[in-house]
Amino acid sequence: MEGLNNIRPASVQKLLEACKSIKVKRLFLYMADKANHDWVRYLNLDNVDLGSGKRSIVADGVYVAKYQITVPKALESMA
């Protein structure tokens, strides 16, 4: 994720729109935010189906309200 600094937002937009997995899209966006990528702000999430309701990557983790996803505690505590 950290190596995606120079990816074009239009490329990411197309990939997110084509992706069928709600969990993958939410986790990708969470990780991009966590890595502080500038291109995230150029994405139009209105065109990306993020589903509805909560999703969980692990059973006993930390809930991230922005993406309605539960991630491992170790991932959330990373800087």
Residues 34-60 have pLDDT tens digits of 998 999 999 999 999 999 999 999 998
- Token pair for 48: 């990306």
- Calculated CA dihedral for residues 51, 54, 60, 65, nearest 10 degrees: 100
What is the reported pTM? Answer: 0.88
Q: What's the pLDDT at 79?
A: 57
Residue 74 pLDDT class (50, 70, 90 cuts): confident
CA distance 70 to 21: 15
More confident residue, 3 or 69: 69
d(CA 70, CA 76): 10
Q: Give the model confidence (pLDDT) of 3-30 as tens digits.
A: 788 899 999 999 999 999 999 999 999 9
Q: Characterize the bridge pairing of strands 69-71 and 62-64.
A: antiparallel
64 torsion bin: left (phi>0), alpha (psi -120 to 50), beta (else)? beta
